Each structure stands twice: as C-alpha cells, then as structure tokens.
Homo-oligomer: A and B are copies of this chain.
Amino acid sequence: VGSLVPDVIEFFFDVASPWSYLASTQIAGLEERTRVTVRWRPLLLGGVWKLTGARSPREHWTENRRRYQDVDFAAWVEHYAIPFRKPSHFPPNTLIAMRGAVAAERLGRLVPYAHAGFRAYMVEDRNISLPEVVLAVGEGAGLDRATFEALLHDPGVKDALRANTEEAVARGAFGVPTFFWKGRMFFGNDRIALMESFIRHE
C-alpha cells in the first residue's frame, strides 16, 4: 500500500539566511540517512516577511535573547564543524542571488549553485547583493556566464521566484529554512532531527 503523497522533502531557503546555511550543510546526510530526496526550493526571505507582515525578529528581542542568538549560532557551527565568517555586508538584498538560484535550477545546477552562494556569503564574506558576485557564484557552480546572466533578467525566472515565495507563505511558511514532508511543515535548522524521526518512524 503506497502513499499518494510523494516521498520528497522540500527545503525552502534563501542564501541571506544563516540558519538556511546551517541546514544546507546537512541535506546530503539527511538524504543518505532517510533515503528521501530533498527538493531545494529557492525563495526570497524579504518577500516572505513582506507577505506575512513580519519584521526582522531581532527588533523584538531582549538583550539576553540577542546575545544568545549569536552564541547559539556559533554552537551549531561548532557542532556541524563547518566554516563560517560573519557576513559584513548585512542585511543583504538577495533578489538577484535568488533569481540566480531559479536560473541555476533551469540549467540543472541548483544544488551546486546554492552551496556556492552560501559559501560566497557565509564563508568568503562576499557581498551577495551585487550582480557581479552572483555571476561569479554562477560560474563557480559551472554555469555558462552569458546563459546565466540572460536568465537573471528572464521574466519567467522572476515570476518563478515570486511564485515560490508566495507558495511557501500560502502553505504556512514565515521564514527559512522551512521544510515540508508529507503535509507536515518543519521550520528551522533545529527541526531537521525532529523531521527525520517522523520519517524514520513512518
């Protein structure tokens, strides 16, 4: 008796999000352990905030909460043993970078592009808001520069990014990383293990 719901994990992300970066480093292991394919879904985090009426959560936080955010993030970086350098270009505008992700998806290179984008912004401290950095990320992911650059301005690519963002919000997202698996939504890098336990015990 098979389920009608496809056994796929959707992973909504934006390269502007440090917590999406954390999650992005765990996807390969997640797929290996669960044998469930992860579908990477680029969206625009700023768009999610706009659509849901949210402001950056930091604005509401107390001093202790703010301090813990950094300690907590550093603990995850240590736990995952991944490289990270705090971005100096903050907050970024990832509109071009995330259109680039949609373009890379069309060219069959979404996952390498996403990893390259996270690396550029979260490890190499490059200004991901700049078109030339996005183009370099595309080249780093093996994309032909001219083809990629043309797609960045393609109305279909722009529409697809907007559609992804709207879809995520319509399905309940309010930030990233957000995962969907068989009708369940999981928000946050810290929910990967919880999601995995549901998949394991299915």
Contacts and interface: CB of A to CB of B under 8 A. Distances in A.
A52 interface: yes
Contacts of A61: 54, 174
A191 B194 contact: no
- The oligomer's copy count stands at 2
Interface stretch (A65-73, A121-129, A136-144, A151-159): A65-73
Interface residues of A: mostly helix, strand, loop or mixed? helix
Interface string A164-175: 000001001111
B197 A72 contact: no
Given A63-B52, A174-B62, A190-B190, A68 B185 contact: yes
Given A68-B187, A193-B193, 6 more contacts: A54-B61, A65-B174, A68-B185, A76-B194, A79-B194, A190-B191
Given A62-B52, A169-B64, A79 B197 contact: yes
Contacts of A90: none
A184 interface: yes
